[in-house]
Copies of this chain bind each other. A is one copy, B any other.
């Protein structure tokens, strides 16, 4: 097994650059950290290499490099490195196809986006479409908060206006979300093919996009709370639309 002991080794230096979006986009590679994520990536064809602090952590089928603690600390995203880092190639860009879509307009928080992707996987969403202002899909905090779900989810960055128009032409029902004054979720008849539209944490959905929705729904609550967290609201609606809340 190849060993690297120096933090100034050229490979380590080039991998370190993958902490920045600019270099990820250039090399079309990204880093992931931790056994759980590396395992999830290993079930896809995207895992290219692993760097391990301990020989026993070697992963079969890919190149393994044994590194020192100093190297691991340099590449790690966290204060307490887990001892394994994977190098992955960018996902193939999926096509706009399927029956159930999640459309995200300017979701900014990596944790919220990760949680939404996790729920989308569990509630049968075929494709997640994000506009260009949403979090980078190779951001480490985002990937961590998907808990590996990202490796089983199709993600597409695209203009949401064009996407919605295309989906509507294809007969997909576009469901906007709001805080009140629309169709309460329990009155919504889950369409067979739908696209659920969620907006920014503070501003909500861009009114121009909302205006394109076939229906607008909201989750009734008492009047003490202004709004639910966007990942929570989206997950409740996805769960409802999946039919899993019906007897």
A205 to chain B, nearest CB (A): 18
What 0/1 pattern do residues 146 to 165 of A give for CB contact below 8 A with B? 01010010000000000000
Q: Is A70 located at the chain interface by the 8 A CB criterion?
A: no
CA distance A209 to B231 in the complex (A): 28
| Known A-B contacts A111-B111, A231-B232, A235-B236; A244 and B225 likewise in contact (beta carbons under 8 Å) | no
CA distance A145 to B112 in the complex (A): 11
Q: Which residue of B lies closest to A40 (CB)?
A: B226
Q: Is A219 located at the chain interface by the 8 A CB criterion?
A: yes
Residues of chain A from 204 to 233 with CB closer than 8 A to chain B in the complex: 219-222, 224-229, 231-232
How many residues of A are counted as interface, with CB atoms below 8 angstroms from the partner's CB atoms?
37
B186 near A246: Cβ-Cβ < 8 Å: yes
B232 near A115: Cβ-Cβ < 8 Å: yes
The 8 Å CB contact of A219, one of B225, B229, B239, is B239
B186 near A122: Cβ-Cβ < 8 Å: no
CA distance A147 to B124 in the complex (A): 30
Q: Is A121 located at the chain interface by the 8 A CB criterion?
A: yes
For A149, the chain B residues whose CB sits under 8 A away are 225
Q: Is A119 located at the chain interface by the 8 A CB criterion?
A: yes
Residues of chain A from 140 to 195 with CB closer than 8 A to chain B in the complex: 145, 147, 149, 152, 184-187
What 0/1 pattern do residues 79 to 104 of A give for CB contact below 8 A with B? 00000000000000000000000000
For A225, the chain B residues whose CB sits under 8 A away are 118, 121-122, 149
Q: Is A77 located at the chain interface by the 8 A CB criterion?
A: no
What 0/1 pattern do residues 14 to 33 of A give for CB contact below 8 A with B? 00000000000000000000
CA distance A121 to B111 in the complex (A): 21
CA distance A149 to B186 in the complex (A): 25
The 8 Å CB contact of A245, one of B152, B222, B232, B245, is B245
A232 to chain B, nearest CB (A): 4
What 0/1 pattern do residues 109 to 123 of A give for CB contact below 8 A with B? 001000100110111
Q: List 21 A-B contacts (CB under 8 A).
A: A115-B229, A118-B229, A118-B232, A119-B228, A119-B232, A121-B225, A122-B222, A123-B222, A124-B222, A145-B229, A152-B224, A185-B245, A186-B244, A186-B245, A219-B244, A229-B235, A231-B231, A231-B232, A232-B235, A236-B236, A236-B245
